Amino acid sequence: MINDIESNYITTKTTIKPSREQFNIFSGKKFGQFWHVPAGNSYMGNFYRDAGVNYLWSDNSGTGSVPLDFETVYNKAYDADYWCFKVGFNGDYSRNNLINEYENYSDFKAFKTGNIIICN
């Protein structure tokens, strides 16, 4: 089973055709005082690279997560095309949930355009 998953992933990765337009993506969200973004060599950083998108923290050589303050994330990601994050939420998770958690999320371009990928 795991070998099938790996084989399918590698096949998919090698068949991705580069887009003419390069999309910027950022990940994670604020939790307490910090926003934890996946480092560039984390499994999520590699996933974004394999998908052919420009992950904004791909230049970070770490393999875990990087704790940042909101202002640091905002300065780098305010005009990113997409926002992707994981949640463990009982039910549907929406933009309204985000605003209820932290109203400044609405300042991101990805929030305004609805280009949010939520993995619940």
Assess whether pLDDT exceeds 80 at residue 21: no
Predicted TM-score (pTM) of the model is 0.87
- Local confidence band at 91 (pLDDT 50, 70, 90 cut-offs): confident
Joined tokens for residue 84: 């992707």
Q: Work out the average pLDDT over 101-117.
A: 96
Cα 90 to Cα 94, 96, 97, 114: the distances in Å are 12, 15, 12, 21
For the chain, the residue count is 120
Note the pLDDT of residue 55.
Answer: 96
SS3 at position 84? strand
Q: Which residues pair with 31 in a beta bridge?
A: 34
Q: How far apart are CA 104 and CA 51, in angstroms?
A: 28
- pLDDT tens digits for range 4-19: 888 888 888 888 776 6
